[in-house]
Chains A and B, each alone.
Chain A
Amino acid sequence: MNYDAIEVRTRRRERLRKGFTYFCLVIWALMVLFPFYWMLLSSLKSYSAYNSEYVPRFFTLSPTLQNYTDAFTAVPLARYFLNTLIFTLATTAIMLLVITLAAFAFARLNFRGKDLVFTFFLALMMIPTELVVITNFVTITDWNLRNTFPGLILPSVTSVFYIYLLRENFAQIPDELYYAAKVDGTSDFKYLLRVMLPISRPTMVTITILKVIECWNSYVWPRLITDDANYFLVSNGIQEIRENGFGRENIPAMMAAVVVISVPLILLFLLFRKKIMAGVSRGGTKG
């Protein structure tokens, strides 16, 4: 056996494979990044420059921020933003309250029928939203809550899955802590606030982040429930801009709006990268 030849061959093959792997990974990275680059680039081109490029150019030498001004003045982008912010914050806050109470009841309190209700909750996890949206639409309409924040918010303030996730987390806290608190005369509610929530903070943060992402991107329900532009969220806003804003062909301004809408979540992601990725792999498909 020629050992040197084997060594050399192995090393060469290894290097080739590595190179090929990196090549493929870079290709996909470009595929992912390119739309982001293109929207940033287009948003910096002036209206006339963009429209005079029959063959699109991959860079611009005269960037302008005019489109961003247009995005905020020609269409009520700031209002969409504010609406989304209110919607996101209110939905997330109410949801956290509701699921914390429920998870606490399931994890710590003893009452008749608990197991039955919990099983029932778990069964509800399998119900797709698309199936219940129809009646919810009718209900909200009947209650005259179309084009209001309560109408937007109320149907999405509970999540069986998050109740389940939090309950599992609560259940891991040793019983001894609870009994110790009982001996000290701590009330259940205080125990929840002072002990369980701080211990479960990582899970709470994960749930919050996932819910914020979901709210920021929600489109279907807001579209059904609002037709007054004063109550549009960013997703509906962008659709509105596309169909009626700016005049059809002002693509640079549209791209500016898209950039503005995308930035908050991307920033949030870059800040909490590890937490978000861990949270998503623990539970959550998009939508």
Chain B
Amino acid sequence: MSAQRQVAYAASCPDCDVDLHGDDPNEIVEFYRRHSSVTGHDVEFTRIQPDLTDAVTEDDLKEVYTLEDVVAKLEAEYEDGVPIGAVAAAMSEQGLSIGETLEKIHEIRMGGGLYEPQDDHLRAF
């Protein structure tokens, strides 16, 4: 029997009791957008790629605290900008839902703290 490959990310909507699995963290964000647009429900990460949690540890999150710092910390891992899904996954360790993280990202972008080198990818100024 072959072992089933575990995908890097998973998220679920507790209200609907549905979930989505994928290797690309931005797939989870797309799922959130589709789901939220018809239900208004938020979506939570239930699995996060271990590399990501290694890159931004719980101690980091306690220490750096701000979302911009999380983006800055992850920039080394992603050449073309940090996928917002990876940021959302890291921030979920701090207790933020995907919807809450996207709202924060929007606020910070409007304030000039972050920019998008490509759609749904972030860099810190």
Q: Does chain A bind chain B?
A: no
Give the B-binding residues of A (Cβ under 8 A): none
